[in-house]
């Protein structure tokens, strides 16, 4: 079972006619639609308040305009209260909420370790004869919920530290009898506030706006037998090397990655061997953010503009058929393997 058609057929045959699964998909897709409506409505109401504030000087010039202003303001206030009450007393109820619907769906998908076994069979067959053993998907926390962050996106990105949460779905395996993990972190939405100058006829004012950026990341960890605590803190991150930093013989590597040790630190020379540097530079469209050693050896990757969900989780944005469900799961398994394989090529050089 090492290609799309094999996985698709297996999934379709497994779940065809499963009424509980169809009901769970309908329920989850409904809650996701409601969640989006709440989000869009909140933004719309916020915009209305902003426009009211912007045009208030013009509206309040006479009694008639003041009445219009108060009417619009009152309607907006009522909408805010109604949405808040709905969210607190209806949408967030345990038996009714989005998270509970998602949990129920994954209970069906994970029954008898079906999805876990699919991953194991597919990954094992794709790897063929290799130094990978004891591979398994540990489904600790299946969810496609985004994490939210607020602040300046550029600052946040430059300080990213992974993994965000190792207590979520993860792929566990051994490479040359050394324990390793592969984690696709929950995607993050970064909200960055900014001020905008708005001018309309003779009216000018500053209004607040919000930029939204999606950040997806994955991490591979290795309990290495070849590197001890003396290597703790050694890493290379995206960014040009400074004159006082360690620099390799590769001009291209020094241009794209900054090793955080001094130029004379022999640990860096041992850790970033020519083979490791070649493997990094040979990647097409590299998303490598950092490679280093703390308690474990880690490989961190990050992409922006798109959401990639944790391993073994699947995005359901609408009510879909079992056929479409089977396609999505098969595509996600293929996608997860490609991410896994990309970091494994580098990890193998340290194992």
- Please report the pLDDT score of residue 58 as a whole number: 54
Which residues does residue 245 pair with via DSSP β-bridges, in sequence order?
A: 262
Task: Extract the residue ranges of the chain whose pLDDT is less than 70.
Answer: 1-2, 35, 38-39, 41-74, 76-77, 79-81, 83-97, 145-166, 192-211
Q: What span, in angstroms and rounded, lies between the C-alpha atoms of 212 and 224? A: 38
Q: What span, in angstroms and rounded, lies between the C-alpha atoms of 286 and 301? A: 9
Residue 113 tokens read as: 């370790």
- Please report the pLDDT score of residue 304 as a whole number: 83
Q: What span, in angstroms and rounded, lies between the C-alpha atoms of 172 and 181? A: 5
Give the N- to C-terminal CA distance of the chain in Å, as an integer: 27
- Please report the pLDDT score of residue 166 as a whole number: 66
Provide CB contacts within 8 A for 168, sequence distance 6+. 140, 141, 143, 183, 185, 186, 310
| Residue 172 and residue 135 in contact, taking contact as beta carbons nearer than 8 Å | yes
Provide CB contacts within 8 A for 320, sequence distance 6+. 25, 29, 328
| Residue 292 and residue 298 in contact, taking contact as beta carbons nearer than 8 Å | yes
Tally the residues of the chain. Answer: 351
| Residue 271 and residue 234 in contact, taking contact as beta carbons nearer than 8 Å | yes
Nearest to 102 by CA among 74, 143, 67, 73: 143
Residue 80 tokens read as: 């805010």
Q: What span, in angstroms and rounded, lies between the C-alpha atoms of 17 and 323? A: 11
Model pTM score: 0.78
Q: What span, in angstroms and rounded, lies between the C-alpha atoms of 69 and 247? A: 64
Q: What span, in angstroms and rounded, lies between the C-alpha atoms of 148 and 54? A: 29
- Please report the pLDDT score of residue 305 as a whole number: 84
| Residue 108 and residue 18 in contact, taking contact as beta carbons nearer than 8 Å | yes
Q: What span, in angstroms and rounded, lies between the C-alpha atoms of 39 and 5? A: 37
Mapping DSSP to helix (H, G, I), strand (E, B) and coil, where does residue 190 land? strand
- Please report the pLDDT score of residue 75 as a whole number: 72
| Residue 50 and residue 72 in contact, taking contact as beta carbons nearer than 8 Å | no
- Please report the pLDDT score of residue 56 as a whole number: 56
Mapping DSSP to helix (H, G, I), strand (E, B) and coil, where does residue 65 land? helix
- Each domain of the chain, given as residue ranges in start order, spans 4-224+296-347
| Burial classification of residue 36, based on how many CB atoms lie within 10 Å of its CB (0-12 exposed, 13-18 middle, 19 or more buried) | exposed
Long-range contacts of 223-231 (CB under 8 A, 24+ apart): 223/178, 223/179, 223/180, 223/296, 224/178, 224/293, 224/296, 224/297, 224/350, 224/351, 225/178, 226/350, 226/351, 227/271, 227/293, 227/297, 227/350, 230/267, 231/267, 231/271, 231/293
Which residues does residue 208 pair with via DSSP β-bridges, in sequence order?
A: 195
Q: What span, in angstroms and rounded, lies between the C-alpha atoms of 172 and 243? A: 39
- Please report the pLDDT score of residue 142 as a whole number: 80
| Residue 280 and residue 346 in contact, taking contact as beta carbons nearer than 8 Å | yes
- Please report the pLDDT score of residue 167 as a whole number: 73
- Please report the pLDDT score of residue 86 as a whole number: 66
Q: What span, in angstroms and rounded, lies between the C-alpha atoms of 255 and 240? A: 5
């Amino acid at each position: 079972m090492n290609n799309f058609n094999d996985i698709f057929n297996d999934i379709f045959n497994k779940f065809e006619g499963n009424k509980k699964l169809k009901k769970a998909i309908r329920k989850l897709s409904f809650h996701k639609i409601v969640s989006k409506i709440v989000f869009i409505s909140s933004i719309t109401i916020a915009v209305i308040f902003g426009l009211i504030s912007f045009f208030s000087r013009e509206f309040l010039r006479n009694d008639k305009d003041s009445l219009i202003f108060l009417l619009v303001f009152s309607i907006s206030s009522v909408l805010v209260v109604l949405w808040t009450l709905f969210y607190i007393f209806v949408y967030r109820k345990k038996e009714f909420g989005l998270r509970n619907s998602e949990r129920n769906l994954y209970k069906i998908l994970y029954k008898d370790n079906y999805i876990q076994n699919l991953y194991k069979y597919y990954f094992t067959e794709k790897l063929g004869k290799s130094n990978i053993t004891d591979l398994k998907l540990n489904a600790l926390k299946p969810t496609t919920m985004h994490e939210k962050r607020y602040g300046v996106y550029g600052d946040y990105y430059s300080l990213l530290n992974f993994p965000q949460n190792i207590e979520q779905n993860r792929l566990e395996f051994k490479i040359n009898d050394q324990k390793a993990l592969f984690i696709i972190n929950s995607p993050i939405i970064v909200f960055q506030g900014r001020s905008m100058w708005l001018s309309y006829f003779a009216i000018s004012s500053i209004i607040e706006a919000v930029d939204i950026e999606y950040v997806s990341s994955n991490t591979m960890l290795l309990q290495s037998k070849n590197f001890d605590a003396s290597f703790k803190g050694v890493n290379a991150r995206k960014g040009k090397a400074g004159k006082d930093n360690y620099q390799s013989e590769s001009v291209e590597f020094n241009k794209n990655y900054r090793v955080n040790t001094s130029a004379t630190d022999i640990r860096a020379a041992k850790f970033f061997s020519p083979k490791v540097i070649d493997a990094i530079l040979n990647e097409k469209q590299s998303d490598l953010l950092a490679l280093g050693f703390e308690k474990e050896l880690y490989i961190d990757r990050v992409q922006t503009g798109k959401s990639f969900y944790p391993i073994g989780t699947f995005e359901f944005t609408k009510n879909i058929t079992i056929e479409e469900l089977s396609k999505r799961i098969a595509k996600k398994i293929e996608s997860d393997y490609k991410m896994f394989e990309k970091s494994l090529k580098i990890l193998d050089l340290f194992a």
